[in-house]
Amino acid sequence: MTTKKFTISQCKDSHSISFNAMASPCEVIVQSTDAKLVGALAQVICTEVWRIEGKYNRYDPKSVCSMINTNAGQTVAIDEETYLLLDFAEQCYQLSDGLFDISSGCLRKVWSFDASDNIPNQADVKKQLKSVGWRKINLNRQSITLQKNMEIDFGGIGKEYAVDRTIRLAKQTTQKPVLVNLGGDIAVTGSRHNNTPWQVAIERPDVDIGDEKSADMIVSLYSGALATSGDSRRYLLNGGQRYGHVLNAKTGWPITHAPRSVTVVAPQCIQAGILATMALLQGHQAEQFLSAQDVKFWARR
């Protein structure tokens, strides 16, 4: 578990709140010199992020997520927030025609993306695939029922959801401009003072040897959110074929020819995150998919 504490530092007219959550370094920037306000905001935001983490972290045996998974085969009562998240996941499942599936996590039992050529055999994949498929899950406003051996995880939406939640709390707490960055998933409450944008640097994830080095990309953000999906460090190589870590929930195999990472700008972080993930799931048609959605995006191949 990450240690639950935050540090505050001041830089010119802004304060920065740093903490760890969801296995990522997190940062909140407030354009204010009011230390008291920043302290209060830090408390509010960190509490909310850690709350969401505690509730939906599948590695935490006390989480709602674990409770649902360990009781697979039985009906588990859920609260409104969990229902809303699951309902959102269901809509993403439908919108992506089954490619995005929060029950596909157990496929990782056969896929370890360690840059090796460790490709599982088809039989193992097929066996795991039996425990995958949102269709097999029964969800209503009060409860969820997973079939035996099934598992769900909130990995694809939890962090983005936390960003949107904290932005909402920040807006309720202060009028000052606030930026929330949870491990690269970013949202702002609005533009900085004097209507200037936030300058967000997107780290180039490409660490492949021989690849051309380029500077971080700078994005000007006036409002809304951006999220990045993809990770070039997690892949397998086999016969010259690169298998990215994004799995097709329908076949159980990684999506090939996908960009290494996709960054999308959208009004809300959860929207940006899902669009980026859905784009990766389109493989070589990722850019085409995003163009059709009429969103601002950057894809790296």
Residues 82-111 that bind other proteins (CB under 8 A): 84-85, 87-88, 91-92, 95-97
Question: Of 172 and 194, which CB lies nearer to other proteins in the complex structure?
Answer: 172
Q: How far is the CB of 17 from other proteins (least distance, A)?
A: 22
Residues 14-53 that bind other proteins (CB under 8 A): none
Residues 257-276 that bind other proteins (CB under 8 A): 266-268, 270-271, 274-275
Q: How far is the CB of 76 from other proteins (least distance, A)?
A: 20
Among 11, 77, 123, 292, binds other proteins (CB under 8 A): 292
> Does 250 participate in binding other proteins (rule CB under 8 A)?
no
Question: Of 113 and 254, which CB lies nearer to other proteins in the complex structure?
Answer: 254
> Does 165 participate in binding other proteins (rule CB under 8 A)?
yes
Q: How far is the CB of 118 from other proteins (least distance, A)?
A: 30
Residue 119 CB contacts under 8 Å (≥ 6 apart), including other chains: 236, 238, 243
Question: Of 95 and 201, which CB lies nearer to other proteins in the complex structure?
Answer: 95
